A and B are shown apart, each in its own frame.
Chain A
């Protein structure tokens, strides 16, 4: 799959698996096709939900999924089969589970390439105007997608031997 990488730094072997996994998981869970956008947009407006999950082993990654309020509501409804209020705990559950599946698929894709990693439990945050800050020496990649559910983004931050990635 061709992905558009507009916010990319070096040292990112295999990170294309994240965008590839996102396309597969959203197709399987929500029945939609994600189209990568040419430019990474700031999608953090009035209400955004971001879920982060770690993959640790041969890689040391933080994989994240970010959805603005409207996209999150549409995705959660498609995924669960019923409406879920954005402000509810169930919304965190639904997006956390989507991210869990995303990480599981990333793990499976890495496994096919001989790269082994275990996944953590997801952490989910909901806020207004949230942005992810990355350590200066950490590599990262973010891909923006358009979809029938709305815009969303996925990404990965690559740590270096025990460094803290925030």
Chain B
């Protein structure tokens, strides 16, 4: 499965680490686009191509939660969004999941194994969706 993923973090090192960890997780073949804050991410989010976003919470200009709220308010298609954050307290996590519409979250620091375990259910859903849409299109073609 090939995934166009947007990686949003104000730290260039963290973006590199997130991309490397995701690549090592072998959950999918990722094609990455990088953004350095929420505003930059809004510009780089492609409504047709972006299939997933990994978003830091605390960033200058526009934080991760505000970015998620904007995407959810303006896009009909559901793009899975994963928060990657140091904000591990329950109130913050609940705010992200319930109010803003985040699909999953990973608390820093993380390992490839933690990322894999946390994201496997999300990728299983994506894989099912991808198979269903492929089946639909092959029926049309047939």
Binding site for B on A (CB under 8 A): 25, 28-29, 76, 80-81, 84, 89-90, 93-94, 96-97, 100-101, 103-105, 107-108, 111, 119-121
User: Could you tell me if B17 and A104 are in contact, using CB atoms closer than 8 angstroms?
Assistant: no
Q: How far is the CB of A82 from chain B (nearest CB, A)?
A: 8
Task: Kindly list chain A residues whose C-beta atoms are within 8 Å of the C-beta of B107.
Answer: 104
17 contacts between A and B (CB under 8 A): A76-B13, A80-B16, A80-B17, A90-B13, A93-B12, A94-B13, A97-B108, A100-B58, A101-B86, A101-B108, A101-B109, A103-B86, A104-B86, A105-B86, A107-B86, A111-B90, A121-B10
User: Could you tell me if A97 and B88 are in contact, using CB atoms closer than 8 angstroms?
Assistant: no
Task: Kindly list chain B residues whose C-beta atoms are within 8 Å of the C-beta of A104.
Answer: 85-88, 107-108
Q: How far is the CB of B62 from chain A (nearest CB, A)?
A: 13
8 Å CB contact of B20 from A29, A81, A119: A81
Question: How long is the Cα–Cα vector from A5 to B137 in the complex, in angstroms?
Answer: 67
Task: Kindly list chain A residues whose C-beta atoms are within 8 Å of the C-beta of B58.
Answer: 100, 119-121
B14 within 8 A of A: yes
User: Could you tell me if A96 and B16 are in contact, using CB atoms closer than 8 angstroms?
Assistant: no
Between B11, B87, B91, the greatest number of chain A beta carbons within 10 A of the residue's beta carbon is seen for B11
Q: How far is the CB of A25 from chain B (nearest CB, A)?
A: 7
Question: How long is the Cα–Cα vector from A121 to B91 in the complex, in angstroms?
Answer: 19
Question: How long is the Cα–Cα vector from A120 to B86 in the complex, in angstroms?
Answer: 12
User: Could you tell me if A107 and B89 are in contact, using CB atoms closer than 8 angstroms?
Assistant: yes
Known contacts A25-B109, A93-B12, A119-B58; decide if A100 and B17 are in contact (CB<8 Å). Answer: no
8 Å CB contact of A29 from B16, B59, B85, B109: B109
Q: How far is the CB of B135 from chain A (nearest CB, A)?
A: 40
Known contacts A25-B109, A108-B89; decide if A97 and B11 are in contact (CB<8 Å). Answer: yes
B60 within 8 A of A: yes
Q: How far is the CB of A74 from chain B (nearest CB, A)?
A: 15
Known contacts A119-B58, A121-B60; decide if A93 and B13 are in contact (CB<8 Å). Answer: yes
Q: How far is the CB of B59 from chain A (nearest CB, A)?
A: 8
8 Å CB contact of A28 from B13, B59, B109: B109
Q: A28-B109, A94-B11, A100-B58 are in contact. List 18 more A-B contacts (CB 8 A).
A: A29-B109, A80-B13, A80-B16, A90-B13, A93-B11, A93-B12, A93-B13, A100-B108, A101-B108, A101-B109, A104-B88, A107-B86, A108-B88, A108-B89, A119-B86, A120-B58, A121-B58, A121-B60
Q: How far is the CB of B72 from chain A (nearest CB, A)?
A: 23
Chain A proximity mask over B69-96: 1 for CB below 8 Å, otherwise 0: 0000000000000000111111100000
Question: How long is the Cα–Cα vector from A81 to B110 in the complex, in angstroms?
Answer: 13
Q: How far is the CB of A75 from chain B (nearest CB, A)?
A: 12
Question: How long is the Cα–Cα vector from A43 to B107 in the complex, in angstroms?
Answer: 31
List CB contacts (< 8 Å) of B106-123 with chain A.
107-109
Task: Kindly list chain B residues whose C-beta atoms are within 8 Å of the C-beta of A97.
Answer: 11, 13-14, 108
